[in-house]
Structure formats: structure tokens, C-alpha cells
Amino acid sequence: MDYKVEYEMEELAPVVGWLANKYTSGESTSISYEKAQQLMEAVLYCIQEISLFESNDLALADKMSARQAYEIGAALVEKKVRKALDLYHELLPEFEDYGNLYLHDTIIKEMPKFFQKYDVRFEPQNTILTLDYPVEKDLSQYTGIDRIYEYLKCIRQEQIFLKQYPKYTFDNE
């Protein structure tokens, strides 16, 4: 399904204002331009998540307010985080790095940091990790949890493929 949810700036600005209020815990009425831009990107990211979710029920999204769309999108982002975390935990028991330091560091050292630091509400568009171990699929169109989830799916496929072959060790020489 290729459905795009769009709102005008006049509809998005109050959502960013509401989010800014949440960000400052109501203690300030001003934020930096950079923070406002980050929050606008967060709102747009969450709303875009609705377009990625495959359900005919979401065709009603254009009848929602921007705030409703943001909240539904944020819930979908949270759901994807849980799916990605489940996928990560599914990978770990039989994970093999095959002696590749980049694969090991990305999956074993860095991935847990992503799940600890990922900010669904205020910066879901931030991928946080550089994902130094390359995968077969071009992930340049993805950011945030979308990129991490697609990356983990690629790693799972690679692990499944490589498990078909005997593990090579230097002891075999």
C-alpha cells in the first residue's frame, strides 16, 4: 500500500508546540531553532509511519487532525521498536560474527545502545548508529527505527544463509 499522509504547516505547528511543551515539561515557552526543527522532523517521521503501516483502516488518516496522526504514528513507531527488539533477541542466541569485528561490534556492542537511547517521542528520526557492517540491501532511504528494523531483517537473512555452511576456523588448516 502506498498511501501518503500530508498536512499543511498550519496544522503541524500546533503539534510541534505541544511536543515542545512536553519536551520542556511545561517549564519554558521557548526552545532553540534546532530543537524546533528536530521536533518538526519527529512529528513528520511519526506521521509518515502511518504511510508505511499496511492497513486499509489507515486510509482514514487524512480525516484525522495532525495531532491524532502524530499520536497514531508514534504508537506505530513504538510497535516497530518492540518488533525490532524482538527480532534482535531472536538473533542473539545463535548469532555468529564469523570473526568479523564490524559485525560483532554492530550487533553485540552497538545495537543494545540503540535500544537504550532511542527516543520515540522527541527524535524518532535519529538512527543513532552508523551500522558499520554493510548489508546487501540499500538502507539509505530509511532512518530511525525503520532503518534499524530493516537492518536487523537483513542480518537475520544473512545469518540464516551462512548457517547452511560449516563454520570455518583456523584449526581446520
| Among candidate residues 158, 84, 75, the one with its CA nearest the CA of residue 127 | 84
Q: Is the residue at 33 inside a domain?
A: yes
Q: What is the pTM of this model?
A: 0.88
pLDDT of residue 166: 81
Q: Is the residue at 110 inside a domain?
A: yes
Place of cell 521557548: 30
- DSSP codes joined into one string, 28-93: -S---HHHHHHHHHHHHHHHHHHHHS--GGGGGGGGS-HHHHHHHHHHHHHHHHHHHHHHHHHHGG
Residues in contact with 91: Cβ distance below 8 Å, sequence separation at least 6, in sequence order? 107, 152, 155, 156, 159
Q: How many domains does the chain have?
A: 1
Alpha-carbon distances of 94 from 83, 89, 97, 150, rounded to whole Å: 18, 10, 10, 19
Q: Is the residue at 46 inside a domain?
A: yes
Q: Is the residue at 15 inside a domain?
A: yes
pLDDT of residue 112: 98
Place of cell 521536533: 39
Where in the sequence is the domain holding 28, given as residue range(s)? 9-166
pLDDT of residue 60: 58
**HSE (side-chain half, CA atoms, 13 Å) at 99:** 4
Distance between CA atoms of residues 96 and 91, nearest Å: 9
Q: Is the residue at 56 inside a domain?
A: yes
- Dihedral sign from CA coordinates of 156, 159, 161, 164: negative
| Among candidate residues 135, 134, 142, 91, the one with its CA nearest the CA of residue 112 | 91
Q: Is the residue at 3 inside a domain?
A: no
pLDDT of residue 58: 53
* CA angle centred on 56, ends 121 and 156, rounded to 5°: 60
Low-confidence stretches of the chain (pLDDT beneath 70): 1-4, 54-62, 168-173
pLDDT of residue 53: 76
Residues in contact with 56: Cβ distance below 8 Å, sequence separation at least 6, in sequence order? 1
Q: Is the residue at 1 inside a domain?
A: no
